Amino acid sequence: MTRKEIWVVVERIDDEIEDVSLEILGKLTVLAKSSGYKIVGIVLGTAKETVLREVIRYGADRVILLKHERLNEYSNDLYSKVLFDLASSEFPTALLIGATYYGRDLAGRLAARLRTGLTANAINLEMDEEGLLIFGVPAYGGKIMAEIVCERARPQMSTVRPGTFTKVYDRDRKGETVELIPDLSSVQDRVRVIERKVTKSKDLTKSERTIVGGNGIGGDISLIRKLAELTNSDVGVTRPLADKGIAPRELQVGTTGYSLKSKLTLILGVSGSEHFTSGIRDCGTVISIDIDKESEIFNHSDYCVVGDVSEIVPAVIKKLEEKR
């Protein structure tokens, strides 16, 4: 018998909780209002009291702390073991994880061990009267929005795309904290963290102004970086540019990247596939430049410029530099 509980694996680095974990909690507070399901945040490691309190304030009714020094650094071996043990003894109805590097790595193995289904990269989440979660995921090259349900196996599992949902903070929210100490004595961790280097990259979901480059800009993003610098904007790219190593993965916009909420977005040489446009649906004003007047991106733009970015961008940069 499953418990009327939806679990969220809370990802954190030291005292900093990943936004996506808080966004999932936020969405669940809205769903849980009408359904009577309890929201449970699962925190791993030796997290401070302040972290646990934040998880409650962002929406959890209960926090389970799996307390162990060895869980302070993410490890697929250890995390999948302790979460498997806990979920197999407590039977939550659903278990959700952010679609981050660690979330994607963890979710697949955990779902396989729990013998349940896994929806990847959900960008929508609803619940029917029986507590069946309906995960929305773009499918068939983004042409349709598939609704995925896991009818029989439990827990229902999904990873959720960062930047999709809105955080809900309530300072006065009260909740319970349960501390468990997992037995890890028999578990071999095949990966050992020797050193952790934190590279601070811009969180694209918080950008006010973004310039996004696609295949049409060629194999070099230095020009759009220059334009971004001159206009005080951040840089994003489509997936092919991240795949080819032209730009870091943290800059990818779209279904398997980040969702923008920029007030002003300039899109250069992007064809406008659904996998990309799902990442700009919450943007304010969108201006696009594409050489092809039939480009799909124009159907998602407020201002459309037909032209060659390799001519327009240098000309704009020149003008801006003259103005300086």
The verdict on whether omega for the bond into residue 155 sits within 30 degrees of 0, i.e. cis, is: yes
Q: Which of 156, 262, 295, 301 binds ligand FAD (CB under 6 A)?
A: 295
Question: Which listed range, 30-38, 75-83, 164-172, 268-276, lies at the site for ligand FAD (CB under 6 A)?
Answer: 268-276
Of 210, 255, 262, 265, the residue at the interface with ligand FAD (CB under 6 A) is 255
Residue from 233, 269, 280, 286 in contact with ligand FAD (CB under 6 A): 269
Is 162 a residue that touches ligand FAD (CB under 6 A)?
no
Query: How many Å apart are CA 310 and CA 268, to the nearest integer?
Result: 10
Give the angle subtended at the CA of 70 by the CAs of 25 and 9, to the nearest 5°.
15
Which C-beta is closer to ligand FAD: that of 56 or that of 289?
Answer: 289
CA–CA separation, 30 vs 203, rounded Å? 25
CA distance 276 to 237: 10
Residue 29 in contact with residue 39, Cβ under 8 Å?
A: yes
| Residue among 93 and 277 whose Cβ is closer to ligand FAD | 277
Site for ligand FAD in 94-153 (CB under 6 A): 141-142
Q: Shortest distance, CB of residue 263 to ligand FAD, whole angstroms?
A: 21
- What residues pair up with 173 in beta bridges, in sequence order? none
CA-CA distances (angstroms) from residue 288 to 198, 209, 244? 34, 14, 23
Candidates 208, 229, 292, 321: give the one binding ligand FAD (CB under 6 A): 292
Q: Which C-beta is closer to ligand FAD: that of 100 or that of 255? A: 255
Tokens of 206: 């918080």
Q: Are 177 and 153 in contact (CB under 8 A)?
A: no
Q: Is 38 in the site for ligand FAD (CB under 6 A)?
A: no
How many whole angstroms separate alpha carbon 81 and alpha carbon 54? 26
Among 254, 261, 262, 288, binds ligand FAD (CB under 6 A): 254
- Please report whether residue 309 would count as binding ligand FAD according to CB under 6 A: yes
Number of residues that bind ligand FAD (CB under 6 A): 28
Shortest approach of ligand FAD to residue 253 CB, angstroms?
6
Helices 19-35 + 49-57 axis angle, to 10: 50
Characterize 104-116 residue by residue with b for buried, 16 or more Cβ atoms within 10 angstroms of its Cβ, and e for exposed: bebbbbbbeebeb
Q: Which residues contact 282 (CB under 8 A, 6 or more apart)?
A: 259, 260, 261
Q: Would you count residue 304 as binding ligand FAD (CB under 6 A)?
A: no
Could you say whether residue 308 binds ligand FAD (CB under 6 A)? yes
Name which of 146 and 191 has its Cβ closer to ligand FAD: 146
Q: Count CB-CB contacts under 10 A for residue 68.
A: 17
| Closest residue to ligand FAD: CB criterion | 254
Give the closest residue to 157 by CA, choosing from 139, 135, 172.
135
SS3 265: strand
> Which span (34-42, 181-189, 195-203, 284-292) binds ligand FAD, by CB under 6 A?
284-292
* Window 179-218: contact mask with ligand FAD (x via CB under 6 A): -----------------------------------xxx--
Q: Which residues bind ligand FAD (CB under 6 A)?
A: 141-142, 214-216, 238-240, 252-257, 269-271, 273, 275-276, 289-292, 295, 308-310
